[in-house]
Amino acid sequence: MYGPQIHYRGKEMEDVELLKELVSINSIFPNERKIADYIERILQDSGFETQQQDVEGRFNVLAERGKEGKPILFYGHMDTVPVYGEWDSNPFELVDRNGRLYGLGAYDMKAGLAAVLRAVQEDTDQKIKIAFGVDEENNSAGAWKLLESGFIDDVQGAATGEIGDVSDESLAGRVITLGRRGRAVFEFRIPGFSIHGAHSNGQRNATTEAARLLLALEKMNEELPSHEVLPKANQFVSMVESKATSLSTPSEAVIVLDRHLVVPENAETALADYKKFLEKLYSDGVLEEINGKRIEVSIKKRKVPYLMPYYTPKDHGFVGRFSSIITNPVYNSGYSVADECILASKGIPVVTIPPIGGNEHSANEWVSKSSYSEMIRIFRKIIKM
């Protein structure tokens, strides 16, 4: 239909052929419409009732089938990041090199999409819901729209084939990802006042005060909370801005800080921590008021909420279904946010069966062929349990 190499053949397509077709469709956000149309057609051929959910002119694909039991949700995102770096091959052509399949989105997360599409071609009466969203690589607008729609209110749990930060190919078919850190962005506004630079006489100004704060924030990393399963919280400065026109000291500086959060943190508790941190810096004399003003910190505004951390306990019954069909399962958690954080915010238990791969968001992205096959096998067994 849309892939330049393979003509659409529905259920006749083999596993790697389907992944090859998905990779050939350019779905760099916000251009997911072609892949949405293509996926919807496959789902219809597999007996699903489908709809496309409008997300400000972009479209999630929703599908459901079956009559028995409480529905299982399979979730994935259809978009990819842009082409980064110098590739050794065409990013939109899946290339097999010694069992590694190279292509844009092959790992993140078109192998996960293809595994679901192949698995649900099996006949089963199990009630299944599928939601493939847009915009995960940006602000997750598709997942937030899905959450508001009520489509997933009745599911027993969510399964995904999202990446899980695993590149060891010996672990194919064994890894179960049970959580992810959250993320929020904070803005520090450092006050100053503008005077002629010739008369500053070494006084503290917005820029020098920002430098002191930057050094303190770097040391703060050591004090950030940890979690028994999730990777330790961390933070990094993504922007520093301070400038003055003409020969003057700057009247303000701005620091933007990106923070990865762990359970039970959220954006508001992290904000409270930063306010306490600033108070201590002032009381210890590290920072000083400038022109009677102190640094202010706030959560940086954006159109949709930030994604919060989650963890699905290993002893949860929904997790147990996956553990029972995987030999010697290895449990891990993701370093960064994904749409699963939004699903989990609704109280839905989330299990990720990640492919093995690497180079996501960079050149020569790859996914292990054997781990892709294992995902299909696991998802097929789940819908027949």
| pLDDT, position 192 | 83
| pLDDT, position 4 | 39
Say if domain 10-180+309-382 classifies as CATH 3.40.50.300: no
Question: Residues 178-224: pLDDT tens digits?
Answer: 999 999 999 999 998 776 666 666 677 889 999 999 999 999 999 99
Q: Are 342 and 147 in contact (CB under 8 A)?
A: yes
Helix (H) or strand (E) holding 353: none
Tell me the CATH number for domain 182-299: 3.30.70.360
Domain segments of the chain as ranges:
10-180+309-382, 182-299
Mean pLDDT on 322-344: 95
Instruction: State the Cα–Cα distance between residues 21 and 25, nearest whole angstrom.
Output: 7
Instruction: State the Cα–Cα distance between residues 365 and 85, nearest whole angstrom.
Output: 10
Mean pLDDT on 328-335: 95
Distances (CA, A) of 78 to 10, 132, 136, 220: 18, 6, 8, 37
| pLDDT, position 200 | 62
Asked if the bond preceding 264 is cis, omega within 30° of 0, the reply is yes
Taking 60 as the threshold, does the pLDDT of residue 153 lie above it? Answer: yes
Helix (H) or strand (E) holding 259: strand 252-261
Taking the model in full, what pTM does it have? 0.90
Taking 80 as the threshold, does the pLDDT of residue 94 lie above it? Answer: yes
Question: Residues 276-326: pLDDT tens digits?
Answer: 999 999 999 999 998 899 999 999 999 999 999 999 999 999 999 999 999
| pLDDT, position 193 | 75
Neighbours of 316 (CB within 10 A): 15
